[in-house]
Structure 1
Amino acid sequence: MSTQDESGPEIRILPEEHQQHFRLLELPPDLLKVLTSVDAPTLKLKSQEGLSGNVLESQTVLCTPDKTYALRQVSTSNSVYIVRPGTAPSSSVNQPTLDAIAQPQSTLELQPAKGASAASYIKAALPTYTSTGHTGSTTKVSKQQLFADISLSDGECEQAWTDLACFEPEGESYAIVPSDSVKLQVWEAMLTTATAMGVDMTHSLHDSSQLKITTSESEWPEELSKAVLRSMTAVPTSPPNEIQLDGDKSAQMLGRALLKDLTGSGRQPVSAMSFETKWADLLPERWRGKADIKLLEGSYKEQHGGETLTFIESEVSKEVAAASSAAAPAEAKSTLGAKRKWHEKFRASKKTA
């Protein structure tokens, strides 16, 4: 079938058996700009797997190094053709044509993924390093494999990894996420050491200062201490040999961890006044005033007219936790200071308590 327009080339629609198969992809302006830049990055297609191992097509995403776009199929009732230049032989000259070589029935649409966080998926996938070394999972996965299995960009995964103080033990190829209780105890030990050595945690910390406060204890790996510090670091970071802790970020992380440690897992609510006092005691003297409950908005629920508080999980965290087949054991707090080496405690955790 063909159509003729005196003002342009002839349009010819090839028979269906001769047409090719195409899928049109609609790009948002910001992604188009990335793709057409001089140093265009490599893009990745990712998909989240369900518990059965089946890929869920509705969760297929396209990732740049730091952004995630949801991929959605959109059908259209309009006739859409893909054409290419051609020629139609005639008795005198070759007549220019446009040949319709395909007729896509749907379009792939990309939209920025909103409200997604890698944190919940990381916590569900990794074994938890607790004060007893117990873990809720015996599955070992490397950081690289972990990121590959999460349908978000590597940049977003890296941010969640940093915020959760995840780490890979030296010489090992598996990742661990520390519990909130452990992070609090590691931080308290580092703060005590820094105070004793005259190191001001509110100022830039040089390599030598970092070394002093992260290697003073042998109860846990040095990588864990460094990860806790990194989770509190300001962005952008200081020069390569220095880090600068962010006061608000540090206070927020410690406050949320403390409230979850005190009231999580069905425990009783805590007095708001008592909580804020304990929270302030975790901070360097200069930052004590940052222990303001408003900093934890969305992470707590008030009871008894605001006199007591309890920790609440985000809806995304609940959904991911419910989908996870691993069940974390109850954590005992009394053995973190034991003289057993940290890796011995973690190795013993292969048998879930």
Structure 2
Amino acid sequence: MSTQTEDGIPLSFVAEHDRKHFRLLELPPEILTLLISDTPPILELKSSGIQGADDAGTAVLCTHDKTFNLRQKNSSNTVYLLQPHSRSDFIAGSTLQAIAQCHSSLELTATNPSDGSALDHMKTVLPIYSSTGLAASSSLNQRALFNLIPYSEQECLQAFRELAAFAQPSTDHVYRPSAALAVQAWQNILTTVVAQGVDLNRPLTASALTSLIDADSESEAVIAQAILDLFTNPTADGMAFDQPDRCVLWVGRQLLEAEAARNEIPSRVFLEKWKDLLPEKWRPLADLSTLAAVSQSSDGGKSIMLKGAVAAASTPAQSIVAASAAGNKRKWHEKFRPSKK
């Protein structure tokens, strides 16, 4: 037991084998401000549920819409945690006792886009739904899916939307449409647009938007709805396709994956097919240069192909879904165990 001067506060130390185990977490100002607000949010501690993923051994802390990496930081300083302590020879609560010693702390850092995104993770998890059948069966609903993705709720929702993902009506299991099925769904929407003389440059009422869905099955209908949800936003006058260039680019990417995932296609032929999938006023927006990030050309630009080896039928999601169903135990917490001295 240490000694103190008469005007100091008596301090004692719990025996080492009786000390409690704590981890210190350094909070960035952004998180601290949220926690001390009048309505503090619920924070989530998450890790990747994807087997073999590079970040499977890491953890993140999520607010509703942001994700922070959690990293252990060792310190050469000796840090003790103190709490008020009562002793018979002092006034109650007037002494302190060291109940734990921390050799390291955890710090939070904002995620770096170069490390990946919720969209990248979700692509590897979601089974592909195609017109010829399922690439992999799914036992995941949307909540179970989001639990596997080490990103915030809002980032997961945005990724789900960007993939035009959907829940199968009969099972509530989630999938993403194959590129070919997405192109077909969009083509059906466009056919209805042309037949009804709809101008997509003007806001549409909710009923007018719903009338654009002409599908033969529930699954086709929910895929079409997912595509419309992706590109329409509410305005004072109704729902509007307020970013035609974004929609045009998406159609081009889906067509490229559907038509040129394994074999080159003449650039001229591809461009014509792309334009044929667009309303007349949007056709000038189809430009091969906008696909540079996902395409590769050859023969002096006369041929085009999807960049990289993409096999639409490959199913990394199968092992992920199976691991989830089997109650896969993630060991990310072991990374943050106190290091031995």
**Band of TM-score, shorter chain:** 0.7 to 0.9
Structure-2 separation of matches of 1:87 and 1:246: 67
Query: Partner residue of 1:209?
Result: 208
What SS does the aligned partner of 1:139 have? coil
Where does residue 98 of structure 2 map in the other structure?
A: 100
| Counterpart Cα distance in 2 of 1:189 and 1:37 | 49
Preserved contact between residue 166 and residue 175 of structure 1 (Cα < 8 Å): yes
Q: TM-score, normalised by structure 1?
A: 0.78
Change (3 A) 1:240 1:155: farther
Distance (Å, rounded) in 2 between the aligned partners of 1:58 and 1:177:
27
Give CA-to-partner distance per residue, 1:277-332, whole Å, 9 cap, x none.
32233222222222123433421223233333221259xx99xx7854469xxxxx
Q: Which amino acid aligns with 1:267?
A: N
Superposed counterparts of 1:328-343, under 5 Å:
none
**Distance (Å, rounded) in 2 between the aligned partners of 1:123 and 1:89:** 64
| Shift in CA distance, 217/44, structure 1 to aligned 2, threshold 3 Å | same
Pick closer, same or farther for the CA change 1:69–1:130 going to 2, 3 Å.
same
Does the 8 Å contact 2:71/2:107 carry over to 1? yes
Matches within 5 A, 1:199-238: 199-214=198-213, 216-218=214-216, 221-234=220-233, 237-238=234-235
SS in structure 2 at match of 1:81: strand
In 2, Cα distance between equivalents of 1:311 and 1:211: 33
- Give the direction of change, closer, same or farther, for the CA distance of 1:47–1:301 in structure 2 (3 Å limit): same
Listed as ranges, the gaps of 5+ residues in structure 2 are 321-341
1:136-182 Cα distance to aligned partner (Å, 9 max, x none): 11233211211122222121111111111111233432112111111
Q: In the alignment, which residue of structure 1 is the partner of 2:130?
A: 130
> How has the CA–CA distance of structure 1 residues 71 and 305 changed in structure 2, closer, same or farther, with 3 Å as cutoff?
same
| 1:192–1:37 distance in 2 versus 1, CA, 3 Å | same
Q: What residue identity is the alignment partner of 2:263?
A: R
Measured at CA, do residues 189 and 289 of structure 1 come closer, stay the same or move farther in structure 2, by a change above 3 Å?
Answer: same
Distance 1:141 1:97, change over 3 A: same
The number of equivalent residue pairs is 315
Q: Name structure 1 gaps, 5 residues minimum.
A: 328-353
Post-superposition shift, 1:79?
0.8
Q: State the alpha-carbon separation in 2 of the partners of residues 224 and 38 from structure 1.
A: 41
1:12 counterpart = 2:24:
no
- Counterpart of 2:268 in structure 1: which amino acid? M
The corresponding residue for 1:180 is 179
> What amino acid sits opposite 2:244 in the alignment?
G
- Tell me, in whole angstroms, the C-alpha distance in 1 between the residues paired with 2:143 and 2:41: 18
Query: CA offset at residue 68 of structure 1?
Result: 1.6
Partners of 2:151 and 2:258 in 1: CA distance: 28
Residue number in structure 1 paired with 2:325: none
Secondary structure at the aligned position of 1:306 is classed as coil
RMSD of aligned Cα (Å): 3.2
Query: Equivalences for 1:46-195 in 2 at 5 Å?
Result: 46-51=46-51, 58-86=57-85, 96-115=94-113, 116-132=116-132, 134-195=133-194
What is residue 330 of structure 1 aligned with on the other side? Answer: none
For residue 243 of structure 1, report the CA deviation from its aligned partner. Answer: 4.3
Distance 2:44 2:178 in 1: 31
CA contact (8 A) 1:136 1:326 kept: no
Matched, 1:242 2:239: yes
Give 1 or 2: higher strand fraction: 2
1:260 corresponding residue in structure 2: 257
